[in-house]
């Protein structure tokens, strides 16, 4: 289903403010880590916002996403204060790690010939699971 203009606007507002909140928290606690909010998707009833976080270096993604998930209440409160003039009700925030950069890195490695050739060795390909 297509996103409405209102959903896109709210997602944009949340994304902009979340970047500020998360980067401020990262400056305080984690040196050398870059956090970006790659995508925000708001449900049609505007009750839930799914937020995808891209983290560099990617080795720290799981740890950081778990930390953000455990502090969701504080983040939601801070976001409600920032958006009080724009949103009547703050949506529930669900955080997920975004692995798009890892996927692109794998494609780049394959294109540059750094991976083993699956045509010559089909054992490298993951097996399909029968349903």
- Domain that includes residue 63, residue range: 5-98
Average pLDDT over residues 45-66: 87
Q: Whole-angstrom Cα distance, residue 76 to residue 73?
A: 5
Residue 28 counted as domain residue: yes
* Residue where the block lists tokens 């040196």: 31
Q: Whole-angstrom Cα distance, residue 125 to residue 86?
A: 49
3-class state of residue 122 by DSSP? helix
More confident: 102 or 77: 77
Residue 13 counted as domain residue: yes
Residue 77 counted as domain residue: yes
Q: Is the CB of residue 96 less than 8 Å from the CB of residue 65? A: yes
Domain count for the chain, please give it: 1
State pLDDT tens for residues 11-44: 999 999 998 888 877 776 667 778 889 999 999 9
Residue 109 counted as domain residue: no
Q: Whole-angstrom Cα distance, residue 45 to residue 84?
A: 18
In the chain, the percentage of residues whose pLDDT exceeds 70 is 86
The CATH number covering residue 58 comes to: 3.30.300.20
Measured in whole angstroms, the distance separating CA 41 from the mean position of its chain's CA atoms is 10
Residue 74 counted as domain residue: yes
pLDDT at 91: 93
Residue 122 counted as domain residue: no
Residue 131 counted as domain residue: no
Residue 111 counted as domain residue: no
pLDDT at 124: 67
Smallest Cα–Cα separation from 64: which of 105, 93, 101, 97?
A: 97
pLDDT at 9: 92
More confident: 55 or 5: 5
């Amino acid at each position: 289903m297509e996103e409405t203009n209102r959903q896109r606007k709210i997602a944009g507002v949340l994304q902009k403010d979340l970047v500020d909140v998360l980067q401020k928290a990262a400056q305080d606690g984690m040196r050398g880590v870059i956090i970006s909010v790659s995508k925000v998707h708001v449900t049609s009833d505007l009750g839930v916002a799914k937020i995808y976080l891209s983290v560099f270096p990617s080795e720290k993604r799981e740890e950081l996403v778990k930390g953000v998930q455990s502090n969701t209440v504080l983040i939601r409160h801070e976001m409600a204060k920032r958006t009080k003039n724009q949103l009547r009700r703050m949506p529930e925030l669900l955080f997920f790690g975004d692995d798009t950069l890892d996927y692109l890195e794998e494609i780049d490695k394959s294109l540059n010939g750094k991976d083993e050739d699956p045509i010559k060795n089909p054992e490298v390909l993951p097996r399909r699971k029968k349903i």
